[in-house]
Structure 1
Amino acid sequence: MKNITSTIQSKHSVAILAFDVSKDRLNMATDLGGQLSDHEFPNHSMDVEHQLKVWAQRAKTAGFNQVMVVCEPTGCYHTTLLSTAHRLGLQTAWVSGEAVFKMRAIETNDSGKTDLKDPHVIHTLASMGKNSHLSPL
């Protein structure tokens, strides 16, 4: 039996890469392998570009037509991620901080912020279509 996230994604053929962004690190959740998995890498231009290219190729290999990079806005720390994604031709979106806070409480029964929980919550919100698509930065 497929979970709801897989059903929504295959219906729209969009792979979701959901990020919690901080000054130095990007924590990502995706279910390209059939179940939600976590990944972490530096929030530096060269690393971001390399990782997005790798994950876009994995999505293509898995049969997705498009990749959506989604995060919660973080002042300026999300700029490198989203501008690089745009340059690579990936969709970009964000979810509101309020939605992440409320969904975290529902999904985890805990309102405390963590870099490991938030990408999962952001992924869930994006899978449900509770995000705003962005224009190029």
Structure 2
Amino acid sequence: EHAQSVRLITAHSSHHDDTHDWLSFAQGKQTLAFYMGRSQLPWLSRQLIEHGCPGETPFALIENGTRSNQRVLGGPLKDLAALANKYGFEAPSLLLVGDTVKLAENLHWFGARINARTNPHANAAVAEWVMAA
């Protein structure tokens, strides 16, 4: 079992107006779905990690979801902002965080993987990946 729940969370709020319960986001078997948050990626990943979410937790960042130019970026949460910048991911984007992301490569039904880098020091074979339509 990968998750017992999914949470849809707006990431559009200002850091000063943040009312999110970060401790609950970092706990349990759940999938987090952050929308409207491309510009907030460094802050989002930092908040999750600082509140107990392991840095190795997998993420998928979906750019232009359901469109012909959809791309999906994946890797460990600790590298989220750097990888999004490296591959030039822009809004609109949906961020998914949690173990269900591990299923992406097996369930990938569109396009092809355009990049993957293995990490010999991690348990997972792939440390970062990008898929495009």
TM-score, normalised by the number of residues in structure 1: 0.35
Higher RCO structure, 1 or 2 (CA under 8 Å, sep 6+) = 1
Q: Give the strand-richer structure, 1 or 2.
A: 2
Under a length normalisation based on structure 2, what TM-score does the superposition of the two structures give?
A: 0.36
Q: Which has the larger share of helix?
A: 1
